[in-house]
Copies of this chain bind each other. A is one copy, B any other.
Amino acid sequence: MTDSELPAPPHMTPDEFRRLGRELVDWVADYMERVEELPVRSRSQPGDTRAMLPAAPPEHGEPWDDILADLDRVVLPGITHWQSPNFYAYFPASSSGASVLGELVAAGLGVQGMLWSTSPACTELETHMLDWMAGMLDLPAAFRSDGAGGGVIQDSASSAVLCALVAAREAATGSGPLVAYTSDQGHSSIEKAARITGVELRLISVGEDSAMRPEALEEAILEDLAAGRRPVFCAATVGTTSTTAIDPVAAIGEICRRHGLWLHVDAAFAGVAAVCPELRFVNDGLELASSVSTNPHKWLLVNFDCGLFWVRDRAALIQALSVLPEYLRNAATESGAVIDYRDWQVPLGRRFRALKLWFVIRHYGVEGLRAHIRRSIALAQRFAARVSADPRFELAAPAPLSLVCFRLREGGDEANQRLLDAVNESGRAFLTHARLGDRLTLRLAVGHPSTEARHVDETADLLLALATDVAKEPLQR
């Protein structure tokens, strides 16, 4: 059959897109309006969503009314509402209207930014945004693209630490098994990166403050050196997942410099706090770091994914990750005058993620972003004050930013687990937990733009009331 005899696929015309786009924008706006009323953690049971889906795909296209209706019928009941003002679990994924609009435009343009030449604006806007962000966060000048360094947007801090480790390994000399280090409070992605690269990982012990003990790090390095192994990489954490503890990066950096290790600073959650001058303690020691990452998709109002990753020596990263097949050769690359971001990440393809970051920075302005960070911290402190004023509760760790760790003093893990389950089952708030000193601890992280004082107050009220219920039930043990 020739092409003219073939049935035409039902591609959407621009006018159909215009009409349906408005409907979907309205659906999202409606969602923003009603998300507060929905149970924060989904009440779906395993298999519930699939049970509502037909076993086979439709042979012929379906009407959009049906698709839209299924967003409410099939999808929403299975959503845990990360964009609810009462979502306090993990770390926030604080999206914003400006960011969603950036994602829409990026999808509409549909460019691949693997090479500069495959869309120069995609690469240059990204480099520029990373330089803007380096300035906004007051990072050492070495991370900016006008010297030997530079930044890139990746999907996550997980991928960033993997790339940093690969670059560190590539730069290593000598022989003997390679060793990497992080604290036992380091993120699971560091262990995953070590496993993927086949590099041995040592978990260094932390002090009372959940921060890495530099003397324990140096001891481990010396031991490995004595045994003929090659220490090559250390990931320090600024803002651990459990408590936002902050490793002593300066002291760690001195040790890494002394022994020639690549120091990566994983500031996935906390790093963006440095938009506020008074919070720049999160940058302490960065002048000794080889690379650093932080995720605007956690606390800076950019929807996932938008992980920023800067390196001091971009040549080391590119050397480690560059593979140049014939079909990607082009004049711009060969001129050496451009950045090809495919050499800064694991995958070849890449979306135009800089757009949403640009939209967010321009919509908010730096002062607007500072206001968001400051407000989250103030709300977290407000919550901490409420909870710690109740003699049944204790704060379980310092709260330097917007994460509060707390627990019931009495009843041990069982009582705390019951309390956590009760608040999450209520649907009125969603919190997660950590283990601190082997004790179950509740975590409340503030960061969503729609979270206001009334939300944290109501969550505190709820927790105090549920604690009374928990105390009434006999414990199992």
- Copies of this subunit: 2
Q: Does A156 contact B (CB under 8 A)?
A: yes
Q: Does A101 contact B (CB under 8 A)?
A: yes
Contact of A349 among B66, B128, B304, B337 (CB under 8 A): B304
Are A348 and B189 in contact (CB-based, < 8 A)? yes
Q: Cα distance A449–B94 when bound, in Å?
A: 34
Q: Cα distance A217–B328 when bound, in Å?
A: 26
Are B450 and A11 in contact (CB-based, < 8 A)? yes
Contacts A156-B348, A305-B349; A117 near B80 (Cβ below 8 A): yes
Are B125 and A75 in contact (CB-based, < 8 A)? yes
Q: Does A367 contact B (CB under 8 A)?
A: yes
Are A101 and B57 in contact (CB-based, < 8 A)? no
For chain A, what secondary structure do more than half of its interface residues adopt (helix, strand, loop), or is it mixed? helix
Q: A110-152: which residues lie under 8 A (CB-CB) from chain B?
A: 110-112, 116-122, 124-125, 127-128, 132, 135-136
Q: A205-228: which residues lie under 8 A (CB-CB) from chain B?
A: none
By size class, the interface of chain A is: 35 or more
Are A32 and B17 in contact (CB-based, < 8 A)? yes
Q: Does A338 contact B (CB under 8 A)?
A: yes
Are A9 and B371 in contact (CB-based, < 8 A)? yes
Report A147 CB to chain B, min CB distance, Å.
15
Residue of B nearest to A5 (CB): B378
Which residues on the B side are within 8 Å of A173 (C-beta)?
Answer: none
Q: Which of A9, A28, A98 has the most CB of B within 10 A?
A: A9
Q: Does A158 contact B (CB under 8 A)?
A: yes
Give 9 nearest A-B pairs by CB, closest first.
A78-B121, A21-B25, A12-B97, A28-B108, A3-B378, A49-B124, A60-B365, A103-B107, A9-B371
List 22 A-B pairs, Cβ < 8 Å: A1-B378, A3-B378, A7-B371, A9-B371, A11-B96, A28-B104, A42-B119, A42-B120, A48-B120, A49-B124, A53-B128, A61-B365, A62-B363, A77-B121, A82-B112, A83-B110, A158-B348, A188-B328, A191-B323, A192-B321, A195-B323, A346-B346
Known pairs A56-B132, A169-B198; list 17 more (Cβ under 8 Å). Answer: A2-B378, A9-B372, A10-B365, A11-B372, A24-B101, A48-B120, A49-B124, A58-B362, A61-B363, A75-B121, A93-B349, A99-B107, A100-B110, A159-B346, A196-B346, A198-B198, A305-B351
